[in-house]
Chains A and B, each alone.
Chain A
Amino acid sequence: MTSQAAIETAGLTKHYPGVKALSDLTLEVPEGSIYGFLGPNGAGKTTALKMLAGLTRPTSGTAAVAGIPISAGASYRQAVGFLGQEPRFYGWMSGREVVEYVGSLYPADARPDKARIQEVLDLVGIADAADRPSKTYSGGMRQRLGIAQAIVARPKVVLLDEPVSALDPIGRREVLELMTALKGEVTLFYSTHILDDVQRVSDHVAILDHGQLVRAQPTAELLSSFTRDRMRVVLGFATDDTAVALAAIPGVLSVEPTDRDPDSRSYLLRIDPDNSPAIQRGVTRLAADTDLTVIDNSLVREGLEDVFMRLVDTKERAA
């Protein structure tokens, strides 16, 4: 593992009697990244975040933030800002008091001053309501207050458990924009099951299913690795023999007719990702040789949702 990783976990495991909540999570989160931790409900995301926040003991394995092991207790938690799912604060405290209270829990030399407290209240956009009791805040405001208290003491890493799941579209957008604004200032590691959000703001993604890590990659790399193995071909004047001819092109693994109308037919080709340019040329050549019109001959651009569904065992989950 490199010393640059903001979070390192090695074999992090949590088993409850009869339940394997998380098994052998080994992950490296680059410093300064916005890291989406994706998985269906019950995949083990919250368990992993609670262990990283020092709230739950791992059954086995280790974790460290900025090189500080989780076993360091309060010193470790000083490096971590945490916001749990559906954050609850002392409702009688105003937003400002919540942030001040959190700041007061830090050692004297790391304690944020009044200027820093005002700075984060401004940053998250609740400065105008900062002196109102936090119990009067809307869901979005509470979430932004949660982010303010998590970042106020300048932790190395901020852990957010489902920060937007319970919000309406406006609140969701505000929080995602805030998370994007924090990029570079702090490493954000957040769990979610909302695929769109991960694709919008995360530069890295890890997918968890049934307590096991399925994939961890930079988001763009993950998407492109799935983009290169499927092609959509639409040919005008195609016949029943065209599918056979397409399957004969070197590098084409399978051909699935998907649509048909009087003028054209559509096919989904599963291809060898390393040969996609040659296959595209092969399709063009076939069309020229057999008097077909090429309407579409492109790689299928899959979204994270498609990738997620392909990676996660949906049948098993449904069962």
Chain B
Amino acid sequence: MTANVAQSATAGTSTIGFLPGFGALVRRELKEWRRARRSWMVFIFSALFLTLASLNNWLISVLPGDVTEGAEPPILDPLMNLVSPIATHVFVIAAIFAVIALITAERESGTLAWTASKPVSRSAIWMAKFATASGVMWLLAAALPLAATVAVVVVLYGSVPATTVAALALGMAMIIVLYMAVALAASTVVTSQAAVAGITLGVLWFAPMLGAFLPDPTFMPWAILDWSVRLGVGQPVSIVSPISWALAVTALTAFSLRRMERMEL
């Protein structure tokens, strides 16, 4: 059979390029995100949290009430009121919850096996999910809520430099990409949504704590949001953070693609 196989291996098939099926898979993913209720929920949750958190100091300053003796007066600096809500990473948590089922639910329902039985590469399946989840979550959990928050801040506290907003948007995109990679990498290892959420939230909460023991936490990939904030407010930044972030995303992607190719469906 080997000889026959070798002779006719290419007969009757088309040229299969790099990441076959990627474009069609991305289109399907986008369609699914457009229809999904969770897209709206992420946007509403993230936008409400960021805008209400930025309103907080203004509300304290205008609402009459008892002021505890010795309490700090509310900070009305536009930059602080823009950056503080973002630094909580709440928008990342919303994005994580939106993607924990992306692979596990498809694996459980059989649609992952169905798609994988077509002339697409499993790497293309993972890459399509990663690319669309990162893009959509950046838009819905970060960019649009950021725009709303900027509007609130400008109206209530005063203007913020466009470069700061651009740097924050970049940092939010990069941190979302990182945690989408963590969640989707976890999805190639464990099969339950709870386990994916546990691993990803574990990385989100505990890894920075571990980083605190390091001489320089900026070496860690999750320092990328701090890095972008510093960049936005004009403080000196190290090139190490984006390099560390890029290495982490690349390593997670390589790990996931390897796991996908070996997955028994």
* Interface of A toward B, CB cutoff 8 Å: 1, 3, 8, 10, 50, 53-57, 62, 64, 66-69, 72-75, 77-80, 82, 84, 86-90, 92, 101-102, 104-110, 156
Contact A88/B111 with A69-B5, A75-B13, A107-B14 known, Cβ cut-off 8 Å:
yes
Asked if residues A156 and B117 are in contact (CB atoms below 8 Å), the reply is no
> Measured between alpha carbons, how far is A110 from B12 in the docked complex, in Å?
10
Q: CB-CB < 8 A to A156: which residues of B?
A: 12
Q: Which of B1-49 contact A (CB under 8 A)?
A: 1-2, 4-5, 7-17, 20-21, 24-25, 27-28, 32, 35
**Counting CB contacts under 8 A, is B114 at the interface?**
yes
User: Considering residues B11, B14, B15, B118, which has the most beta carbons from chain A within 10 angstroms of its beta carbon?
Assistant: B118
Number of residues on chain B facing chain A (CB within 8 A): 38
Asked if residues A101 and B110 are in contact (CB atoms below 8 Å), the reply is no
B93 to chain A minimum Cβ distance, whole angstroms, is 27
Q: Could you say which of B4, B25, B120, B121 contacts A3, with CB atoms under 8 Å apart?
A: B4
Asked if residues A90 and B32 are in contact (CB atoms below 8 Å), the reply is yes
Q: Could you say which of A53, A64, A110 contacts B117, with CB atoms under 8 Å apart?
A: A53
B24 to chain A minimum Cβ distance, whole angstroms, is 4
Asked if residues B9 and A107 are in contact (CB atoms below 8 Å), the reply is no
> Measured between alpha carbons, how far is A109 from B129 in the docked complex, in Å?
25
Q: Which of B96-134 contact A (CB under 8 A)?
A: 109-111, 113-121
* Interface of B toward A, CB cutoff 8 Å: 1-2, 4-5, 7-17, 20-21, 24-25, 27-28, 32, 35, 109-111, 113-121, 262, 264-265
Contact A55/B264 with A104-B24, A105-B24 known, Cβ cut-off 8 Å:
yes
Q: Could you say which of B2, B12, B27, B119 contacts A66, with CB atoms under 8 Å apart?
A: B12
Q: CB-CB < 8 A to A110: which residues of B?
A: 13-14, 119
Asked if residues B119 and A75 are in contact (CB atoms below 8 Å), the reply is yes
Contact A105/B5 with A77-B118, A88-B114 known, Cβ cut-off 8 Å:
no
User: Considering residues A8, A55, A109, which has the most beta carbons from chain B within 10 angstroms of its beta carbon?
Assistant: A55
User: Considering residues A57, A74, A104, which has the most beta carbons from chain B within 10 angstroms of its beta carbon?
Assistant: A74
> Measured between alpha carbons, how far is A53 from B116 in the docked complex, in Å?
9
Asked if residues B110 and A84 are in contact (CB atoms below 8 Å), the reply is yes
B124 to chain A minimum Cβ distance, whole angstroms, is 9
B192 to chain A minimum Cβ distance, whole angstroms, is 18
Residue of B nearest to A98 (CB): B114
User: Considering residues A67, A79, A108, A110, which has the most beta carbons from chain B within 10 angstroms of its beta carbon?
Assistant: A67
Asked if residues A105 and B118 are in contact (CB atoms below 8 Å), the reply is yes
Q: Name 8 interchain pairs, CB-CB below 8 A, sorted by A.
A: A1-B1, A1-B4, A3-B8, A54-B116, A64-B5, A67-B9, A77-B117, A78-B16
Residue of A nearest to B113 (CB): A55
Contact A8/B117 with A66-B11, A92-B35 known, Cβ cut-off 8 Å:
no
